[in-house]
Amino acid sequence: MKNQLLILFLLVTVFSSVEASCKPSGKIRGKKPPPGQCNTENHSECCVEGKLYTTYKCSPKVSDHTKAVLTINSFAKGGDGGAPSECDNKFHSNDSPVVALSTGWFNKQQRCLKKIIIHGNGRSVEAMVVDECDSTLSCDVDHDFQPPCPNNIVDASKDVWKALSVPQKNWGNLNITWSDV
């Protein structure tokens, strides 16, 4: 009886930790972008030579108040997002509320063109998921020498920042919570 209880306890512990935790999928070492590569306009980051970056295929579990970091991205043609959005192969106006989610939350396009609600700066805004913020990529030419996305990012158009009434000088990094609509 005692042993059975112990086994049950172990199983519950193992399964709940598997569900709750999101472990890194690997590490990559940054390579210095060649001259003219990696566009740093509008808050884009470039890989740093020798720096270790952690990659993830998962993100923290989604709840009614999923903690995340809001960043800023251009979804327009010629913007720092680069290619058209993965969900619909289109560019989007930065005056519309659109976001990219970290790989785990993007969940193999499962949230594509669905709405999420973002709470931040004492306000809320609904935004549509159109793209992935890739947490698995490496610092190479295919990714404009940008580091992998952390696994807790909601990368948003400026319209989202405006809707949350964040003063323009503070756009780029904000702790928020979000949930599915």
Ligand X SMILES: *[C@@H]1O[C@H](CO)[C@@H](O)[C@H](O)[C@H]1NC(C)=O
Among 78, 122, 168, 169, binds ligand X (CB under 6 A): 78
What binding mask, one character per residue, do residues 107-146 give for ligand X by CB under 6 A, x or -?
A: ----------------------------------------
Tell me the C-alpha distance between 42 and 172, whole Å: 9
Q: What is the 8-class DSSP label of residue 74?
A: -
**CB-wise, 28 or 92, nearer to ligand X?**
92
- Kindly determine how many residues on this chain lie close enough to bind ligand X according to the rule CB under 6 A: 9
Least Å distance between CB 177 and ligand X? 11
Least Å distance between CB 56 and ligand X? 16
Going from the C-alpha of 29 to that of each of 48, 56, 100, 141, 176, the distances in angstroms are 9, 14, 24, 14, 29
Tell me the C-alpha distance between 119 and 1, whole Å: 48
Among 71, 85, 94, 135, binds ligand X (CB under 6 A): 94
Question: Could you tell me how many helices (H) and strands (E) the chain has, helices first?
Answer: 3, 8
